[in-house]
Chain A
Amino acid sequence: MTKMKILFVDDDRYEMYGLIERLEAADYTVEPVTSTVIAIQKIESGFLPDLIISDLIMPAVPDDASPLSNRHVGIEFCRMMKEQFKLRCPIIVLTVVTDPVIQQEAKKYAQALLVKPITPSDLLRRVEEVLKS
Chain B
Amino acid sequence: MPEWNRDSGLTELLKKLPQLICIPLISADHLPDDPEKPRFIGLIDLHVVKVGDVQQPDDRLLFIGRLTAAAFLRARSYERYKIIQELNKIAIDLVNPTDRSRLEERKDAYLEKVKQVILNAVQANCLSIFEADESRDLIRCVATTGIKGHNKFKKTVYYRKDEGLTWNVFATGKHKLVNNIHECAEHTGRFLEKRSLPTTPDHDPLLAFPLPGQTPEGATGVIRIVERTCMVNKKQLQSFSDHDVDLIKLITHQVSPNLQMIRMQAHRDLFVERTAHQVTQPLQGVIAYASNILEGLYKSEPEKLHKKFVYIRQMARAAAGMMRSAAWASGITDFGFLEQIERHPEKLTRYFIDRIIDLQPLREHDGIKVRFVNPDEADQWGDFLVDEQFFDQAVQNLLHNAVKYSYPNTTVLLKVFRAGKELTVRVTSTGVPIDLSEPDRIFWDRERGKLASRYDQQGTGQGLYLARQILRGFGGNIELLTPIEDSRTVPPTGFPTAQRCTFQIRYPEAFPDDQDENIIRR
Contact = CB atoms under 8 A, between A and B. Distances in A.
B199 interface: no
B455 to A, nearest CB: 5
A121 B245 CA distance: 12
Nearest to B246: A119
Interface stretch (A10-18, A78-86, A105-113): A10-18
Contact of B361 (A14, A38, A63, A70): A14
A39 B284 CA distance: 22
Contacts of B455: 59, 62
A1 interface: no
B285 interface: yes
Contact of A12 (B249, B270, B281, B494): B281
Interface in A40-69: 41, 57-63
Contacts of B456: 59
A88 interface: no
A70 to B, nearest CB: 8
A18 B281 contact: no
B282 interface: yes
Main secondary structure of the interface of A (DSSP, over half): loop
Contacts of A97: 273
A117 B454 contact: no
A119 B284 CA distance: 8
B273 to A, nearest CB: 7
B284 A14 contact: yes
A18 B291 CA distance: 9
A60 B453 CA distance: 9
Interface string A16-35: 01110110010000001001
B458 interface: yes
Given A22-B292, A59-B458, A63-B494, A117 B283 contact: yes
B288 to A, nearest CB: 3
B292 A37 contact: no
A98 interface: yes
A22 B249 CA distance: 17
Contact of B285 (A15, A57, A59): A15
Contacts of B274: 57
B318 to A, nearest CB: 7
Contact of B277 (A57, A60, A63, A70): A57
Interface string B424-462: 000000000000000000000000000001111110000
Contact of B366 (A13, A25, A61, A70): A13
Contacts of A58: 457-458
B128 interface: no
A17 B365 contact: yes
B260 to A, nearest CB: 9
Nearest to B304: A21
A117 B249 contact: yes
Given A22-B288, A57-B277, A62-B455, 8 more contacts: A11-B458, A12-B284, A14-B284, A18-B289, A21-B292, A97-B273, A99-B97, A118-B284
B377 interface: no
A69 B347 CA distance: 46
Nearest to A63: B494
A125 interface: no
6 contacts: A12-B457, A14-B315, A22-B292, A70-B454, A101-B98, A116-B284
A25 B249 contact: no
A119 B245 contact: yes
B494 A117 contact: no
Given A59-B456, A59-B458, A62-B454, A117 B493 contact: no
B494 A62 contact: yes
B287 A119 contact: yes
Interface string A70-81: 110000000000
Nearest to A116: B284
Given A18-B292, A62-B454, A98-B256, A116 B494 contact: no
